[in-house]
Amino acid sequence: MEFFIDTGDIEEIKESYSWGVIDGVTTNPSLVAKTGVDQKTLIKNIAEIVDGPISAEVISTDSEGMLKEAYDLAKIHDNVVIKLPMTIEGMKACHRLSADKIKTNVTLIFSANQALLAAKNGATYVSPFIGRLDDIGQTGNYLIQEIRTVFDNYGMETKILAASIRHTDHVKASALMGSDVATIPFKVLKQLFHHPLTVSGLEQFLADHAKSQK
C-alpha cells in the first residue's frame, strides 16, 4: 500500500519524507491557498523533495480550461498528476488526458458509480473522500470496499486513493478494504507511529538497561 501526504506545507513534506514512508503528495486548492505560495511554484518545490506522484488540481470548471491548466501543470515535472473534479467536464478532460498518457486523479468521488466512470475514462487514480461521507452520517470506509469490488470485477487498473482521512482508523480501514493508496494529513501520519505500549515498553527497557549499568 502506498502512502501519500495530503498537504502543501513544505516543512511537513520534508519531515515526513525523511521517515521513509511517503510515496507521493496530494494537494488541492484549499491546501495550496493555506501556503500563500502560487500553485506552480509550490508543485515545483515539492518535486525537488519527493520522488513520486504529486497531485495538482485544476480550478477551471469547463473541460477546455481544465486541459489548458493540465498541460501547463504537466510541464512542471514528470511526476505531476492532474487532479480533476468528478463532473461531466472533468470526465471529458480525463478522457483526453488519458489518450495523451498524462496521469490523472479524479477527486470528489462519493459513489462507486462515479469511480467506475472515472476508471472507464482511464483515470490513474480515483479519490473517494471517506471523512466527508462520515460527516454526513454515512460510512466512508464502505465506499472503498465497493470500489475495490467493482474494479476487481472488471480488472480495472485505476488505483483507489483513499482521501479525506481524518484519523488513524481510516488508514487501517483503507488498508483492510484494499485501497491502493491512502493520502494522509501530517498529524494523522505521525499518530500512526504511536502506541502507548510502545512508549511504556521502551521506557521499561531503557530503565532496566540503566539499572544494569550501575
- Helix axes of 10-17 and 39-49: crossing angle, nearest 10 degrees: 20
CB of 31 to ligand G3P, least distance (A): 7
Contact flag: residue 104 with ligand G3P (CB under 6 A):
no
Select from 4, 110, 125, 129 the one that contacts ligand G3P (CB under 6 A): 129
Select from 105, 158, 164, 179 the one that contacts ligand G3P (CB under 6 A): 164
- Where does residue 92 rank: exposed (0-12), middle (13-18), buried (19+ CB within 10 A)? middle
In the complex with ligand G3P, the residue whose CB is nearer, 57 or 96, is 57
**What is d(CA 130, CA 143) in angstroms, rounded to the nearest whole number?**
7
Of these residues, 14, 34, 44, 83, which one is catalytic? 83
Catalytic annotation present for 83: yes
In the complex with ligand G3P, the residue whose CB is nearer, 179 or 183, is 183
DSSP per-residue codes, 25-87: EE--HHHHHHHTS-HHHHHHHHHHH--S-EEEE---SSHHHHHHHHHHHHTT-TTEEEEEESS
Q: What angle do CA 14, 17, 125 make, to 5 degrees?
A: 115
Select from 6, 12, 69, 180 the one that contacts ligand G3P (CB under 6 A): 6
CB of 161 to ligand G3P, least distance (A): 9
Which residues of the shown chain bind ligand G3P in the complex (CB under 6 A)?
A: 6, 26, 28, 129, 131-132, 163-164, 183
The residues carrying an active-site annotation are 83
